[in-house]
Amino acid sequence: MSISKYQAAQRNTESPRQAERRLFGQVNGALMRIGASLDVEATVTLEWNRRIWLTMQSDLARDENQLPDNLRAQLISLAIWVDKHTSKVLQGQAAVVPLIEVNRSIMEGLATAS
């Protein structure tokens, strides 16, 4: 089976929560490989993580989102923090580890909620 067929099959059998957990796992793996470097690959990875969080923030702000208001507000606040912290990392003023820890916590929450 080709990789594209495998990926299509995986998408068809995953719940949205499982897909989100897998995505956070992928970006977290990439963030862990960054280390202290701020090369092009690190920048791309940090921006990928930021886009995931900004997309999630946008979805959480929609009236159609069915999460409880309190949880939505907490996750939106976290997304705002991720955006600001990412800027600090890109400027060499902060470490990437807190981003990894936040993503790991989200992954754990997605795993227990499945």
pLDDT tens readout for residues 16-37 = 889 999 999 999 999 999 877 7
Domain ranges of the chain: 17-113
Provide the pLDDT for residue 27: 95
pLDDT tens readout for residues 89-100 = 999 999 999 999
The letter for the amino acid at 49 is N
The tokens describing 44, both together, are 């791309």
Provide the pLDDT for residue 98: 97
Hey, what long-range contacts does 88-95 have (CB within 8 A, 24 or more apart)?
A: 89/38, 89/46, 90/38, 90/43, 90/46, 92/38, 95/36
How many whole angstroms separate alpha carbon 8 and alpha carbon 102? 28
Provide the pLDDT for residue 57: 97
How many whole angstroms separate alpha carbon 39 and alpha carbon 83? 19
pLDDT tens readout for residues 49-99 = 999 999 999 999 999 999 999 999 999 999 999 999 999 999 999 999 999
Provide the pLDDT for residue 12: 65
